[in-house]
């Protein structure tokens, strides 16, 4: 039991550290290509050498951090090529996930979809009314929940995990658009309403087209 509890405590610490680093990578506080030194991170975020190293290994598996041979860790790059590749993967994975979810649709899942879009609408109104780091993070979390919900009924744990991985990789591009004031919320909200309605009506072709448009605009493809 003692060893079991310690393992569980270690996992909790790593989860908390990973959440903090994900947030700071997304907001650009840990910028692309920055070297990540264990001791400096410990002073900033806490934890032990072991827990911080495990955290960086976890984030490396998620594609947010790069482990370089004999040179430690660094924040993953954020080039135009990176953005285009993430966009490609999000489109492939999320469209497949939504298609399978709609094939497996249940009343319970449809209710979850409605609730996720409702929460997103509230978060979007909040971030427009009082834009700051708190409302931005809440908005991004609500966006993430919508995209997770759309694929969760696919019944493929690996697909769901992959969709979450590529969403996390896209967050810093997504939040940069918000910081730069390059999001048309009126257009965005109208598209999201149409997407929700298409999903609930079982209109797969329309839903997939709207999801693709949402993801492309989510990553600012108009500037590519």
pLDDT tens across the length of the chain (224 residues): 333 444 555 788 999 999 999 999 999 999 999 999 999 999 999 999 999 999 999 999 999 999 887 678 999 999 999 999 999 999 999 999 999 999 999 999 999 999 999 999 999 999 999 999 899 999 999 999 999 999 999 999 999 999 999 999 999 998 999 999 999 999 999 999 999 999 999 999 999 999 999 999 999 874 43
Q: Note the pTM of the prediction, 2 decimals.
A: 0.87
Closest CA to 76 of 64, 67, 87: 64
- Per-residue tokens: 128: 């427009």
Q: Which CATH architecture has domain 2-75?
A: Orthogonal Bundle (1.10)
Cβ(18)–Cβ(41) under 8 Å? Answer: no
Pairing between strand 65-68 and 35-36?
A: unpaired
Same topology, domains 2-75 and 80-223? Answer is no
Enumerate the H helices of 27-132 as residue ranges: 38-45, 49-61, 80-103, 107-129
Kindly tell me the burial class for residue 65, based on how many C-beta atoms sit within 10 Å of its own C-beta (0-12, 13-18, 19 or more): buried
What residue segments make up the domains of the chain, in order of their start? 2-75, 80-223
Closest CA to 97 of 194, 175, 165, 47: 165
DSSP state for residue 222 in the 8-state scheme: G
What's the rounded Cα separation, in Å, for the pair 75 and 147?
A: 24
80-223 in CATH: which number? Answer: 1.20.120.530
């Amino acid at each position: 039991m003692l060893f079991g509890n310690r393992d569980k405590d270690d996992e909790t610490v790593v989860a908390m550290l990973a959440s903090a680093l994900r947030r700071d990578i997304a907001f650009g506080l840990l910028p692309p290509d920055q070297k990540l030194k264990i001791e400096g991170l410990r002073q900033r975020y806490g934890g032990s050498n072991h827990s911080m190293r495990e955290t960086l290994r976890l984030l490396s598996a998620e594609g947010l951090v790069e482990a370089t041979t004999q040179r430690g860790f660094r924040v993953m790059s954020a080039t135009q090529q990176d953005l285009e590749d993430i966009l490609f993967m999000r489109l492939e994975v999320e469209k497949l996930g939504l298609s399978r979810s709609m094939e497996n649709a249940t009343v319970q899942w449809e209710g979850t979809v409605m609730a996720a879009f409702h929460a997103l609408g509230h978060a979007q109104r909040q971030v427009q009314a009082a834009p700051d780091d708190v409302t931005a993070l809440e908005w991004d979390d609500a966006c993430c929940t919508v995209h997770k919900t759309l694929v969760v009924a696919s019944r493929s744990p690996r697909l769901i995990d992959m969709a979450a991985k590529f969403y996390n990789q896209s967050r810093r591009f997504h939040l940069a658009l918000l910081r730069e004031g390059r999001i048309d919320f009126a257009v965005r909200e109208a598209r999201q309403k149409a997407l929700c309605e298409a999903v609930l009506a079982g209109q797969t072709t329309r839903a997939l087209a709207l999801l693709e448009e949402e993801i492309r605009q989510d990553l600012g493809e108009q500037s590519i």
